[in-house]
Structure formats: structure tokens, C-alpha cells
Structure 1
Amino acid sequence: MRNIKMTIEYDGGRYLGWQRLSDSDKTIQGKIENVLTSMIGTKIEIIGSGRTDAGAHAKGQVANFKTTSTMECAAMLDHLNRYLPRDIVVKEIEEVPERFHARYNANGKKYSYYVWNNNVPSAFERNYSYHLPVELDIDKMNEACSKLVGTHDFIGFSSLKKSKKSTVRTINEITIQKEGDLLHFTFIGEGFLYKMIRIIMGTILEIGAGTTEIASIDAIFKSGIRSEAGMTVPSQGLFLDEVYYN
């Protein structure tokens, strides 16, 4: 049995997220599995490093699948990119050890979130950023980012209702780069809860706009109450950039 690892990029704008759904064919996982199953001739199920939300994008999603097929990786790559929709691209395929697992072996992820910060919207960035036409205080947002870095219980910055599993996560780095009118936020951490980055972004932006105080971050960590955190920003500004493995 061979174990095949794929690195995938996609524009998630017209999809309902990564995870396969029983009642819809508009998922990234579903589209890739359909092409693989047709190509190999047996039902293929792929394991992703994690889910991405409906409308979110990826530049470096990782997935793996098991197969007895003898088809060369180069031929698989060619076939997938010939028959997948043009907004899903498999960038790399390689054979990996049998025990490799795209989700369980991942020990970190890098995400980006983009904000178009101008009174006038952008025709080109509208599908890949959140348009916020208010003045933002970069220094305050950087201060907020520094408070969020580290190991904390992020349940208050998540859309999880209740969880038997730990909601403690470690964020190693949050940075902000200003690229003209585009603000590029980068998140690097061991893992992220459901909608955690989008809620953190909403909180940071409200602090930058002056409608929320920086001290609210400590209060949210203490209470763990979702309603005390900021809005959930739209998904089109979110990209999964890279998944890290040992």
C-alpha cells in the first residue's frame, strides 16, 4: 500500500469549505476525491491537514491518501490538474512513509488574513480581502497581537460551543505588514480552533478602530465567553499558507 502526499492550493470562493459533505458536491475534498477515484478506479478518501471554512482559500493545504495503484506521481499530478476545476490546483505529489498522516503529524500552521483599508473598495482584491473603510491604529493592533501570542485557552475566540478536547493553543507569532492599502496579517501557531483566526481578527480590528479596548483580550481569556470577543470577519480574506511537519 502506497501513501501519497499532496500539496494543494485553491480559491475557495465558490466552495462550501474543505470538508466533504453528503448533500453537496461543492467542497474541495469532494472535488479532489472524485477525480482521484475516477483516475485510479477504486474509491479514494483523502485526509486533509485540517478544515478550511466556506469561502476561505489555501496556498499550501496538505492531504494524503492510500492506494495500491502503481501510477507514477508525475502522472497523477498531470491527471489531477487536467481534470480538476481551474480554481483547485495540486502543486506537488510525492510518496511518503506509510505512517504519515496529514492531520495528526502536522505540528504547526501558517495563515494569512488580508484587509483592504481604504474608503474606496478594490475591484481586484474584493474576493481575497475584507474591505474595512475606517482608520486603523497600527500601533494598537500590534500591541493587541503581542497579548495574543503565547499559550492560552482560546475558547472565547472560537465558535465552538463546548469541547471535551482541550481548547488551549499556542500562537507563536502574529505580524502585520502594510502593503499600500492592503494590510497583511500573518498567524503562525501549533493549531487553531474553529473560526479562531477570524474572531481574533475581528477583535484586533475593533481595537484598531478604537471601538474596543486592548484590555478586553485579558477579559476574554479569563471569561472564555465568545460574545465578549469581536466580530467574525468574512472568510474571503483568509488563506492557509503552509502546514509544518517535523
Structure 2
Amino acid sequence: MKNYRIIVEYDGSRYDGWQKQGNTDQTIQGKIEHVLERMSGNHIEVHGSGRTDAGVHAVNQVANFHIDTDKKEQELLVYLNHYLPEDIRVKALNQVPERFHSRLNAVEKTYLYRIEMGEKSQVFERKYIYGLHKNLDVEAMGRAAAFLCGEHDFKSFCSNSKMKKSTVRTLKNIKFQKEDSRLFIRFTGNGFLYNMVRILMGTLIEVGLKERSPEEMTGILHALDRKEAGYTVPPEGLFLECVSYK
């Protein structure tokens, strides 16, 4: 059995997230596994670097799978892209060591969130940007972000209240980039909890709208209570942008 790593981009608009589920066949993982099983005739499990939620997109999702095939790398890449839906594309494929695991070996991830602050979103971008349509105080948001960076218990920023594993994560940085009426925010860290980026973003937006002060971030972290943080922003503005390995 050979172990292959793939880099995938997808439009998550019509999917129920990355992870295969028993009640739907509309998942990214499920679509890729279906094509590989069609080719090999065997059950193939695809491991993703992380589980993107329903409606969330990816520019560079990393995944790996083990398969017994005589096809060369380029032939396997062409086969996948031929049978995958048009909104899922394998950008690269290569054989990796047997023990490589896309999730367990990942050391850092970057998520991008896109916001439209102007009166109306551009028509061809509306599925890939959050139409907030309100001006934000980016300087205040930057000051709030500084309180959130570093190693913290991010339980207040997790939607899974029954999570038993550690909710401590290291948020390396939060970077802001403004282009005309659009605001791009990048979150880089060693791992993210369920809905963590979307809750962080909602909380920072409330700071940008003067509904919270930047200094409140410390209290929210210490509360370890989801009710203390801001709202969960919609998924369409969120992209998994980069996954880093040693």
C-alpha cells in the first residue's frame, strides 16, 4: 500500500463540510473517497488536516490516503480531477512516507476570513465573503487581537460544550489587511477548536462596531464560557488557506 498526500481546493457552498457523515453524501471527504473506491474497488479512507464546517471553503486543504495502485502520480491526479465535481480540485499529489498523517503531523494552520464593509457585495463574490455592510474600527480590532494571541484556553470560543479534550491552543497571530471596502483577516495557530475562528471573528467584529472594548478579551478567555464571547459569523467568508508541516 502506498501513502499519498494531496492538496485540495474546494468551494464549500453546497457541501455539509469536510467530514463524511452518515446522514448525507454531500461532504468533501466522501466525494474524494467515492472516486478512489471507484478506481481501486476497495474501501479507501481519506484523512484531512482538519474538518472544515458546512459552507466553509479551502484553498490548500491537505489530506492523505493509502491505496494499492499501479497508476503513476500524474495518472492518479488526472483520474481524481476527471471524476470529482467541478467545485473540488486536487492541486497536487505525491507519494509520502508510510507514517505521514495529514492531521497528526500538521504543526500550523492559517484560516482567512473575508468581510465586505461596503453597501453591497460584488455579485460574483457574494458566496465567498461575509456581507457585513458596516464600517469597522480595524485599529480597535487589532488591539483586541493582541489579547487573544499566545497560548490560552479557548473554551469560550468553542461551540462544542461537551468537548472533553484540552481546549488549550496557541494562536500565533491575527493579521488584518484592508483593500477598499473589504477586510481580510488571517488567523494562524497550532490548531483550532470547533467554530473557533468564526467565534473569534464575531467577537472581533463586535469590537470593531464599538459594542465591546478590546480589553474585554482577557475576561472572555478567563470565563471559559461560550456565552461570554461574540456571535458565530457565517461560513461563506471562511477559507482554510494554508497547512504547515515540519
What TM-score comes out, normalization by structure 2 length?
0.98
Aligned-pair CA distance for 1:27: 0.4
Give the structure 2 partner of residue 138 of structure 1: 138
**Correspondence list, 1:20-59, <5 A:** 20-59=20-59
CA contact (8 A) 1:112 1:240 kept: yes
Q: Deviations over 1:18-60 (max 9, x none)?
A: 0001121100000010011111221111111110000000011
Aligned-pair CA distance for 1:121: 3.0
CA contact (8 A) 1:116 1:125 kept: no
Question: Separation in 1 of the partners of 2:42 and 2:163?
Answer: 36
Question: Separation in 2 of the partners of 1:78 and 1:210?
Answer: 50
**Correspondence list, 1:1-246, <5 A:** 1-246=1-246
Query: CA RMSD, aligned part only?
Result: 0.9
Q: Deviations over 1:167-218 (max 9, x none)?
A: 0100111000001111000111100000000000000000000011222211
Q: Deviations over 1:134-165 (max 9, x none)?
A: 22111101111111111100000110213221
Question: Separation in 2 of the partners of 1:242 and 1:135?
Answer: 28
**Structure 1: runs of 5 or more not aligned:** none
**AA matched with 1:229:** A
Q: Give the SS at the match of 1:124.
A: helix
CA contact (8 A) 1:105 1:245 kept: yes
Aligned-pair CA distance for 1:222: 1.1
Identity %: 49
Q: How many residues align?
A: 246
Aligned-pair CA distance for 1:10: 0.1
CA contact (8 A) 2:105 2:245 kept: yes
CA contact (8 A) 1:8 1:60 kept: yes
What TM-score comes out, normalization by structure 1 length?
0.98
CA contact (8 A) 1:110 1:188 kept: yes
**Structure 2: runs of 5 or more not aligned:** none
Question: Separation in 1 of the partners of 2:163 and 2:31?
Answer: 30
CA contact (8 A) 2:147 2:215 kept: no
**AA matched with 1:134:** K
Q: Deviations over 1:81-110 (max 9, x none)?
A: 111000000000000000001111111101
Question: Separation in 1 of the partners of 2:16 and 2:68?
Answer: 30
Question: Separation in 1 of the partners of 2:216 and 2:146?
Answer: 14
| Deviant stretches of 4+, over 4 Å | none
CA contact (8 A) 2:48 2:103 kept: yes
**AA matched with 2:82:** R
**AA matched with 2:227:** S
